[in-house]
């Protein structure tokens, strides 16, 4: 197999080999090369100690106990137009016992690549690639195979000899599309509980199955996820939600017992049916939530999270009337409160938390063809102009996830047309034909809250009737709202 490498990779390999150090490409880069996918991040391991790496790259950054030196972009000499990401070069290491289900108590350096690979999480990530410039590599028995030639991307003149080091049959697992732990899966997950979600994330992103013993170990150790920081859990969850097969990933999280721990609000929706004389839904609320995610056309993981959580307020609002009909009045209000709590749990930014709240709180908007401009404006204000497309995507997922065959009803089409028309008209206070200076001049008052109050009242008039947004009219209305 022939691989093409960007110039910066050859530059790094060349520098280490000239300094007489071993240097290997490792991790996801090797996996992606074998799968003939574009490599986004290039990681390396070497027998050079961190201080020796810094001699090769003096401006490298080293501030950890795990032997990883980060090379700033300006030292890598990227080809023009290439994506630029930091390169990590880590000293080959062995690890002691783990503490807090996340970090090893100690690490020690090694010059054997097999030792370094044995500490990694999954077999597909435990493959190293040796690229020897100007000479042939010497394979290690039972661990390597000749892999052919390496070529500089865009130039066939520069060649090198490649050798794969694969002590755990990761290539076979890639071929079989299988996520399998290195060695004893229980030990791997006890060492680092985040691997519980990483296994499911890789499975989701790559479309691989999880090997039976590995998945059993995930289920047995699911409770260990409680030891992981919420930021780390959030990042893995968002990577799962961003994947094309996010629905399958969330199903695996629930089957493993992890979803119930990180999103207990959602788990309460399973088994709760919406049924009765006025309902014909065949799914319970939890199943409907999963299907809403599945059919939501948005690619944004936060919008997908909102689609998954849009009905989390229903368990707290369920009522059954005399006819046996089940209702969930104000579940959107309760849902908004719940996702605010979830946003804090996952340490979302204020902007992310606001978007999640708006999408869940206002997802029950009416799409009557008879709505006034002022009603449309209220909806836009509540949802946020920047969230309108995502709100529509959530509604599509909600419809299809409820068994409806058509993505958009004719009423929704009319509603979207009205939104487009309203957005062309004045929408914010700054669009008024007068401003605060006009209010102060007419009333001969100084800056203060009264100025804003008057502008808000005038703006409410314009929301109801945009034809009133005329300077003469608004100037004449200022004294009507003036303080006594």
- Distance in angstroms (rounded) separating the CA atoms of residues 400 and 414: 19
Count other C-beta atoms under 10 Å from residue 12's C-beta: 24
Distance CA 202, CA 106 (A): 27
Phi, psi of 437 (to 5 degrees): -60, -40
91 to 23, 44, 340: CA distances (angstroms):
9, 9, 42
Buried b (16+ CB within 10 A) or exposed e, 57-73: beebebeeeebbbebee
For residues 351 and 300, give the distance between their C-alpha atoms in angstroms, rounded to a whole number.
14
Compute the half-sphere exposure of residue 334: CA atoms within 13 Å on the CB side of its CA.
13
Q: What is the DSSP letter of 179?
A: E
Please enumerate, as own/partner, the contacts of 266-272 that have beta carbons within 8 Å and a separation of 24 or more. 266/308, 266/309, 266/312, 268/312, 268/315, 269/311, 269/312, 269/314, 269/315, 272/314, 272/315, 272/318
Q: Report pLDDT digits (tens) over 49-68.
A: 999 999 999 888 887 667 78
- Report CA torsion sign: 17, 27, 85, 4: positive
CA nearest neighbour of 255 among 312, 311, 199: 199
Q: Dihedral (C-alpha) 34, 36, 42, 44: value to the nearest 10 degrees?
A: 20
Q: Encode pLDDT of 371-390 as tens digits.
A: 888 888 889 989 998 999 99
363, 328 in Cβ contact below 8 A? no
Whole-number pLDDT of residue 302: 98
Per-residue pLDDT of the chain (484 residues; tens, 9 = 90+): 677 788 888 889 999 999 999 999 999 999 999 999 888 888 999 999 999 999 999 888 887 667 788 887 654 544 444 444 568 899 998 876 766 666 667 778 999 999 999 999 999 999 999 998 875 444 444 455 555 555 555 444 356 788 999 999 999 999 999 999 999 999 999 999 999 999 999 999 999 999 999 999 999 999 999 999 999 999 999 999 999 999 999 999 999 999 999 999 999 999 998 765 444 556 899 999 999 999 999 999 999 999 999 999 999 998 888 777 888 999 999 999 999 999 999 999 999 999 999 999 999 998 877 788 888 888 998 999 899 999 999 999 999 998 887 888 888 888 888 888 887 765 678 889 999 999 999 999 999 999 999 999 998 888 777 788 899 999 999 999 887 6
The token duo for 355 is 């978007």
Three-state DSSP state, 149: strand
Give the span between the Cα atoms of 66 and 110, in whole angstroms. 12
Among 24, 32, 139, 40, residue whose Cα is nearest residue 90: 24
Spatial distance between the Cα atoms of 92 and 111, rounded to a whole number of angstroms: 6
DSSP state of 233: H
**Distance separating alpha carbons of residues 442 and 423, to the nearest angstrom:** 30
pLDDT for the residue 277: 46
Give the Cα separation of 129 and 113 in Å (integer): 10
Report how far apart, in Å, the C-alpha atoms of 299 and of each of 70, 162, 241, 293 are: 31, 38, 9, 11
What CA–CA distance (Å, rounded) separates 184 from 186? 6
Q: Residues 6 or more apart from 34 whose CB is under 8 A from it?
A: 1, 127, 171, 174
**Beta bridge partner(s), residue 178:** 209
Q: What is the pTM of this model?
A: 0.83
């Amino acid at each position: 197999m022939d691989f093409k490498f960007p110039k910066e990779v050859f530059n790094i390999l060349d520098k280490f080999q000239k300094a007489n150090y071993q240097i290997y490409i490792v991790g996801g880069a090797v996996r992606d090369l074998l799968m003939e996918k574009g490599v986004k991040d290039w990681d390396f391991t070497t027998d050079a100690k961190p201080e020796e790496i810094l001699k090769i790259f003096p401006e490298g950054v080293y501030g950890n106990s795990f032997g990883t030196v980060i090379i700033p972009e300006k030292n890598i000499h990227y080809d023009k137009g290439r994506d630029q990401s930091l390169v990590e070069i880590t000293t080959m290491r062995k690890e002691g016992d783990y503490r807090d289900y996340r970090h090893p108590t100690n690490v020690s350096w090694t010059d054997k690549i097999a030792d370094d690979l044995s500490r990694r999480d999954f077999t597909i990530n435990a493959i190293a690639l040796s690229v020897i410039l100007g000479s042939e590599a010497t394979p290690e028995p039972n661990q390597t195979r000749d892999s052919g030639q390496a070529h500089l991307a865009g130039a066939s003149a520069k060649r090198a000899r490649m050798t794969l080091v694969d002590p755990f049959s990761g290539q076979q697992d890639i071929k079989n599309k299988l996520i399998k732990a290195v060695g004893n899966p229980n030990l791997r997950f006890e060492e680092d509980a985040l691997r519980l979600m990483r296994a499911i994330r890789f499975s989701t992103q790559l479309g691989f199955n999880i090997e039976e013993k590995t998945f059993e170990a995930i289920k047995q150790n699911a409770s260990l996820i409680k030891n992981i920081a919420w930021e780390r859990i959030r990042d893995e969850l968002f990577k799962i939600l961003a994947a094309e097969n996010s629905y399958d990933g969330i199903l695996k999280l629930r089957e493993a017992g992890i979803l119930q721990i990180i999103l207990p609000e959602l788990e309460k929706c399973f088994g709760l049916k919406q049924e009765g004389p006025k309902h014909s839904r065949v799914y319970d609320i939890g199943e409907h939530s999963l299907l809403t995610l599945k059919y939501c056309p948005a690619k944004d993981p936060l919008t997908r999270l909102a689609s998954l959580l849009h009905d989390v307020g229903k368990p707290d609002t369920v009522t059954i009337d005399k006819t046996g009909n089940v209702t969930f009045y104000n579940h959107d209000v309760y849902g908004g409160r719940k996702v605010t709590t979830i946003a804090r749990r996952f340490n979302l930014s204020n902007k992310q938390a606001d978007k999640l709240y708006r999408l869940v709180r206002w997802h029950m908007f009416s799409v009557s063809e008879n709505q006034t401009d002022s009603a449309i404006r209220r909806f836009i204000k509540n949802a946020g102009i920047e969230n309108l497309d995502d709100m529509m995507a959530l509604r599509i997922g909600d419809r299809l996830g409820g068994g409806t065959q058509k993505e958009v009803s004719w009423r929704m089409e009319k509603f979207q047309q009205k939104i487009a028309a309203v957005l062309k008209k004045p929408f914010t206070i700054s669009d008024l034909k007068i401003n605060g200076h006009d209010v102060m001049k007419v009333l001969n008052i100084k800056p203060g809250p009264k100025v804003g109050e008057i502008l808000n009242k005038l703006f409410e008039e314009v929301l109801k009737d945009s034809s009133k947004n005329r300077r003469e009219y608004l100037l004449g209305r200022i004294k009507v709202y003036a303080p006594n």
